[in-house]
Structure 1
Amino acid sequence: HASIVDGCRLSRAETAVVPHADPEAVRKTLRGHEGRKLAVTDSVFSVDGDAAPLAALAAVCRAEGAALLVDDAHGLGVLGAGGRGALDAAGLAGDADVVATLTLSKSLGSQGGAVLGPARVIDHLVNTARTFIFDTGLAPAAVGAALGGLRLLRREPERALRARTVATALYEGLTAAGLTAVRPDAAVVSVRAPSADAAVRWAADCRTAGMAVGCFRPPSVPDGISRLRLTARADLTDEQVARAVETVRRTAPRS
């Protein structure tokens, strides 16, 4: 994600980019560096909705003396027991050498973000992180909304599974309709478009039909492939899922 890239730049550390979701490439890169080392990854990649191999990455980091930082923006509320996130799903939650960043603006429906990690990491950030110290604190309404989302998830943990079920149903319906979709690991469902212009028109036609979808196109996607991004919600009924699939199919570009 672009925020990870910006964070690496702000750190002024030496940065190496490795192939997508490739623990062995991470191992080789870490092995070639001395001193403090940190591997950084999304938990669920926002473009195609595929998940990083977190358990394998954590094992590589430990073998090479590195820490692991995971952006769990698309995992919280969807993966893990009751939506506790991708680190919980991978058995890494609470580990001393793993830090998670997450947003409050996805499953929790608010804004802002949080860092979860060992007390010494949090203490260091509170006292030294310029982007925290010199920023304005979250508005009380945003904090209240995020807490409300967390409390709802605690009361109704089945929502996490329902969101994943809806995502799978969207994928299966879109694929059955002849569209090229990527099987989701969480709640993000990606559908390939033939071109950037076609993706923009497709998204606009979906909106006209009453359905809001995301539109990814160059330069925001490094592989040059334009996509629509659908986000599954736990409160969607089977009828609404079927209607969404039909809307995307009916408005799909011909070429």
Structure 2
Amino acid sequence: MRKALGAAEEEAREQAVEETGAVPARRRALAVSDSVFSVDGDAAPLAALAGACRAYGAALVVDEAHGLGVLGEGGRGAVHGAGLAGAPDVVVTATLSKSLGSQGGVVLGPARVIEHLVNTARTFIFDTGLNPAAVGAALASLRLLRREPERAARVRTVAMGLYGRLTAAGLAAVRPDASVVSVRAPSPERAVRWAADCRAAGLLVGCFRPPSVPDGISRLRLTARGDLTEEQVEKAVDVIVKTAPTA
């Protein structure tokens, strides 16, 4: 039935073109990706994605939740690092509640996209706007990153330090591209128990297991911070290693 209906619609469009000379509007495609994937902390190939989108006339939406404040020049994000900031066919969403330490989120993109959202997104129109304190806190964080761009580099250094120590201890950690460091667990049950043991020892870690992730790759997730000292990193690794489930 759907195939028959589709053929009929296509025939009607062709007939309309013949009769009026009008060119039917093309369907728009939209590709959506994280800049840094939140489970393993691996960065998306944004330049390649943008190239593919442009080849096929698609727009690209990138979520910078785990890239802003960590990647790019002075923490400007992976989109900026890929040379896509301000591109007319790229829209960026970002949270203010991770690297910037505030709350809420933003949409960054061409003026026509922002105008469209303001005028048509009912949840935006009727929702509560950001409170001034949250906006002020996010703005202060952005200014701090601008003055001290080395803070973003420090986050990446801490993440690599966690990764290096964990792998040296024999754990299956994933090499981070940003601040997220993932450590594989033998099973969902052991991952939950491992996270609970870490918490009991004073270390709060994330725990990912099915259905949040595919079967067979349950894990703990750590998030590096630029203000962590070497002693704190060593202590965190020590707790993870000592509480790790045996094979």
2:68 counterpart residue number: 76
Kindly state the Cα deviation for residue 211 of structure 1 after the two structures are TM-superposed: 1.3
Q: Tell me by how many angstroms 1:208 deviates.
A: 1.6
Secondary structure in structure 2 of the residue aligned to 1:215: strand
**Aligned equivalents of 1:208 and 1:70: distance in 2?**
37
Gap regions ≥5 residues in structure 1:
1-33
Cα distance between partner residues in 2 of 1:224 and 1:55: 31
1:49-68 counterparts in 2 under 5 A? Answer: 49-68=41-60
Residue in structure 2 matched with residue 250 of structure 1 by the alignment: 242
Given the alignment, which residue of 198, 204, 217 partners 2:190? 198
Name the stretch that deviates more: 141-150 or 206-215.
141-150
Q: Against the structure 1 CA distance between its residues 124 and 223, is the aligned structure 2 distance closer, same or farther, given a 3 Å change threshold?
A: farther
Residue in structure 2 matched with residue 141 of structure 1 by the alignment: 133
2:187, 2:216 within 8 Å by CA — same for their partners in 1?
Answer: no
Of stretches 122-131 and 161-170 in structure 1, the one that deviates more from structure 2 is: 122-131
Q: CA RMSD in A?
A: 1.2
Which of 81, 84, 102 is equivalent to 1:89? 81
TM-score by length of 2: 0.87
Q: CA deviation digits over 1:196-224, x for unaligned, max 9?
A: 11111111111121111111111111345
Report if the CA contact (8 A) 2:185-2:191 is conserved.
yes
The separation in 1 between residues aligned to 2:197 and 2:102, in whole angstroms, is: 28
Percent identity over the alignment?
Answer: 79
Greater radius of gyration (CA):
2
Instruction: Give the aligned partner of residue 123 of structure 2.
Output: 131
SS of the equivalent of 1:191 reads strand
- Structure 2 residue 152 is the aligned partner of structure 1 residue 160: yes
Q: Which amino acid letter does the alignment assign opposite residue 49 of structure 1?
A: G
1:113 aligned to 2:105? Answer: yes
What is the CA distance between 1:151 and its match in structure 2? 1.9
Aligned to 1:21: none
Distance 1:105 1:215 in 2: 20
**In 2, Cα distance between equivalents of 1:195 and 1:223:** 9
TM-score (normalised: structure 1): 0.84
Measured after TM superposition, the shift of residue 61 of structure 1 is: 0.6
Q: Which runs of 5+ in 2 are unaligned?
A: 1-25
- Number of residue-to-residue matches in the alignment: 222
Determine the structure 2 residue equivalent to 1:3.
none
